């Protein structure tokens, strides 16, 4: 069991039989009365956000979670096949366990899997990936100041909005959390 003093970002707890990860928390001490903790919890199964307030004496059931580094191999229907880097066993993950941005997951990329015993409960992609542009419309010469963007397709099939000066064959850095272009990488 964990108390509010044990809360930390990423801690996995069980509430009403469902697993939640603490996204953020804030200890609050008002002038009068007892201290309490506001939390924002994210469901590990469906991603919904739950906001709860706990008193200092409240206890929650913690869950032992192991983080395993795996390598993404290929997509099979609605599942992603990954290989454990230590045992070389293959594991088929349901794509709803993945964090957003799987459109930018390249074969051979390292991902982190959260396991409860031998059951995968979540998978995290790298935050930044570098991918090559395979298709984009040509930009207009001299129109680089306006801040305009155009759609581009990267080598994994994902689509991202890029500045007009980015061309086919360029390698770009993408933030997988929000599918945003960050910068062009020098070749």
The reply to whether 2-62 and 66-124 are identical in fold is no
- What local confidence, expressed as pLDDT, does residue 44 receive? 80
Q: Which residues of 48-81 are buried (b: 16+ CB within 10 A; e: fewer)?
A: eeeeeebeeeeebeebebeebebbbbeeeeeebb
Domain 128-185 has CATH 2.40.160.100: no
Dihedral angle computed from the Cα positions of residues 144, 146, 151 and 152, in that order, rounded to the nearest 10 degrees: 20
- Tell me phi and psi for residue 168, to 5 degrees: -60, 135
- What local confidence, expressed as pLDDT, does residue 182 receive? 92
- What local confidence, expressed as pLDDT, does residue 143 receive? 58
Which residue ranges make up each domain of the chain? 2-62, 66-124, 128-185
* Series of mean pLDDT values for 10-residue runs along the chain (187 residues): 86 87 88 88 82 88 87 88 89 78 86 86 86 85 70 91 88 89 85
Parallel/antiparallel/unpaired status of strands 180-185 and 171-175: antiparallel
CATH superfamily of 66-124: Nucleic acid-binding proteins (2.40.50.140)
- What local confidence, expressed as pLDDT, does residue 51 receive? 92
Half-sphere exposure (Cβ direction) of 123: Cα atoms closer than 13 Å: 28
Which residues have CB under 8 Å from 165's CB, separation 6+?
A: 139, 144
DSSP string, 35-46: -EEEEEEEETTT
The pTM for the full model equals 0.69
- What local confidence, expressed as pLDDT, does residue 173 receive? 94
- What local confidence, expressed as pLDDT, does residue 134 receive? 93
So what's the architecture of 2-62 in CATH? Answer: Roll (2.30)
Q: Which residue has the tokens 């080598």?
A: 155
Half-sphere exposure (Cβ direction) of 140: Cα atoms closer than 13 Å: 8
- Tell me phi and psi for residue 6, to 5 degrees: -90, -5
């Amino acid at each position: 069991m964990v108390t509010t003093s044990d809360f930390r970002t990423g801690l996995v707890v069980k509430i009403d039989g469902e697993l939640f990860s603490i996204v953020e928390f804030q200890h609050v001490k008002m002038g009068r009365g007892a201290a309490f903790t506001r939390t924002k919890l994210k469901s590990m199964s469906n991603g919904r956000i739950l906001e709860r307030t706990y008193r200092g004496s409240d206890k929650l059931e913690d869950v032992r979670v192991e983080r395993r580094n795996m390598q993404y191999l290929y997509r099979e229907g609605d599942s992603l096949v990954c290989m454990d880097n230590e045992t070389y066993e293959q594991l088929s993950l349901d794509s709803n366990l993945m964090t957003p941005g799987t459109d930018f997951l390249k074969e051979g990329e390292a991902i982190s899997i959260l396991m409860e015993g031998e059951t995968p409960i979540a998978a995290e992609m790298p935050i930044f990936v570098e991918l090559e542009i395979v298709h984009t419309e040509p930009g207009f010469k001299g129109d680089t100041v306006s801040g305009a963007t155009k759609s581009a397709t990267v080598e994994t099939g994902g689509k991202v909005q890029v500045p007009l000066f980015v061309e086919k064959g360029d390698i770009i850095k993408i933030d997988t959390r929000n599918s945003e272009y960050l910068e062009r990488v020098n070749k």
